[in-house]
Amino acid sequence: MIPLPEPFLKQMQDLLNANEYEAFSKSYLATSNRGIRVNQLKIQKKQGQGDASPCRGLARETFATLTAPLGTASPRSNLNSPNLKSFDLNSLNLPVPWCKTGLYYFDDERPAKSLAYHAGLFYIQEPSAMCPAEVLGVERGHRVLDVCAAPGGKSVQIAGHLGGEGLLVSNDASATRCRALVKNLERAGVTNAVVVTEQPKKLAERFEGFFDRILVDAPCSGEGMFRRDSDVVKAYTANKPEACAAVQTEILRYAATMLKAGGRIVYSTCTFNPIENEGVIAAFLERHKDFSLVKINHDALGIEAGRGEWICNDDLNLNYTARIWPHLTTGEGHFIALLEAAQPLSAADMHTMPHIRNEASSASSKYKKAAQPLYSDNMHMVPHIRHEANSASSKSKKIAASTGATASPPREFSEFCEEFLRMDFPIGAYVLHGVNLYFQSVPLDLHGLRVARSGWHLGECLKGRFVPSQALAMGLCEEQSRYSAELSEVDAFKYMRGESLHYDDSQEISSSKPWVLICHDGFPLGWARLVQGRLKNNLPVGWAIKV
């Protein structure tokens, strides 16, 4: 490991007492912690504890079987290749204390080499990074914004809590980073996400008072990642925390305008510096009187409280925030704060408490708007789209007029569904960009925004025929496809390398050259076209693995 920056070491010596600093500095002699988080969209909790759809869920206790070492006697494993590193969760079973779906793995394991990874059954994630999305408290049906989402670990985690309901808007200002974000969401089978690549200011102009939950995993100086990433150490400078704090403050300010009354924001960083942590939160609360900190349950999560004394401010309940320390827990450095916007006052409250009414009227116009309910509970929460009668015809006309989308799919896709799928799509909007077709469970007006994915990418409408996408395959379960091929482990790896396969099947095939959903252990890996006894591989080039 390269030497740690001197300004950082001096900062930590000033912040910690002698015993704390000694334990903290020794933690950098150890290797960083590594973890995976199982995908709730595809893996249930134990019987009776989960609420995932039966066709989308796998009992948690069978997950270890799916990821057993390659070449063992397991009936699910018949490949013994020296080129593929074993990944054995049976020997681990070490839970991450602040994330019920998180598990640690050892440094010499290679989880990305397993078929379970390529099937989207888990996401590889640093253990501490699992905490912010858990604290956010996402529920089914919520509309959630992940402001700084790439590469997508926290967005996938949020999508798991949404369970295919509600809406996830994943944003990252970098179009380059959004590529990984899109692929990770697609691999996980997320069907209710929109991916945009915009500055927070632009989003705030469009989505004022729109979201129930917002995650601001802010860009930071990265002090908590020094043990894990030497490039972060090299990029560190003495004035970097102050520069980051200015950016963090701006992002948090715009996030506040996009939150519904009563909604919650999680602000998180992977740094120790109080300027970027308690300092940013204190400045935010001083300027936003309609927000307050919600106490994080430190004992239940096994993490430490924040330290308001570091910025000489004990009046804002800054000890309600949380820190993950590498010398106290099995994780890298992290800071988390949970903020809540005040509920609007009822008419009765306004009548009996006139002093509060006067106080509210003196607030800035921007935050007066944010404190008012913009939509009634029985309306679709679509920014810049007025809600009409709940009839399908009026909804379809309004969506088409406002967004260019339709409530009915193109003919090519309807014919594909009738011939190759066993499912009905829920009510929503179909958006056609060129030949690419997307589905939005919650219709959105994205005009004027830089959009990486307008929703669930279904495929391409090409000259009277439809070509299904990889995202469609990963968002389905085996039972939803009329034709599916269950491959052995050997053949599944061949498929993932982009090879076509010979295939004998007893299924009654009424279609010419049918689209076949390729599966292993019941989980989709992609599409193939069955032509004269061969499965012609349709896996995108960027998804093929190299062995």
Longest CA span, the chain? 79
**SS3 letters across 79-113:** CCCCCCCCCCCCCCCCEECCEEEEEEECCCCCHHH
| C-alpha separations of 491 from 78, 497, 522, 535, 543 in Å | 10, 10, 14, 11, 16
| Annotation says 461 is catalytic | no
How many angstroms from the chain centroid is the CA of residue 375? 26
In sequence order, which ranges of 354-497 are alpha helices (DSSP H)?
A: 354-361, 365-370, 392-403, 411-420, 470-475, 489-496
The answer to whether the beta carbons of residues 330 and 29 sit under 8 Å apart is no
Residue-by-residue pLDDT tens, the chain, 547 positions: 689 999 999 999 999 999 999 999 999 999 888 999 999 999 864 333 334 333 344 544 445 544 443 333 233 222 233 333 345 544 455 889 999 999 998 777 788 889 999 999 999 999 999 999 999 999 999 999 999 999 999 999 999 999 999 999 999 999 999 999 999 999 999 999 999 999 999 999 999 999 999 999 999 999 999 999 999 999 999 999 999 999 999 999 999 999 999 999 999 999 999 999 999 999 999 999 999 999 999 998 999 999 999 987 667 899 999 999 999 999 999 999 999 999 875 544 444 443 333 333 333 333 333 333 222 222 233 333 323 333 344 444 444 444 567 888 999 999 999 999 999 887 889 999 999 999 998 999 999 999 999 999 999 999 889 999 999 999 999 999 999 999 999 999 999 999 999 988 766 777 789 999 999 999 999 999 999 889 999 999 999 998 6
Q: Is the dihedral of CA 396, 397, 401, 402 positive or negative?
A: negative
Question: Residues with Cβ < 8 Å from 99, sequence gap 6 or more?
Answer: 37, 127, 130, 131, 134
Helix (H) or strand (E) holding 118: helix 115-118
Tell me the C-alpha distance between 318 and 309, whole Å. Answer: 9
Q: Which entry of 270, 461, 477, 519 is annotated as an active-site residue?
A: 270
How many angstroms from the chain centroid is the CA of residue 529? 31
One-letter amino acid of 422: R
Tell me the C-alpha distance between 152 and 178, whole Å. Answer: 9
DSSP string for residues in 276-291: TTHHHHHHHHHH-TTE
Residue 44 has phi, psi (to 5 degrees) of -80, 165
Tell me the C-alpha distance between 400 and 415, whole Å. Answer: 22
Please report the pLDDT score of residue 460 as a whole number.
97
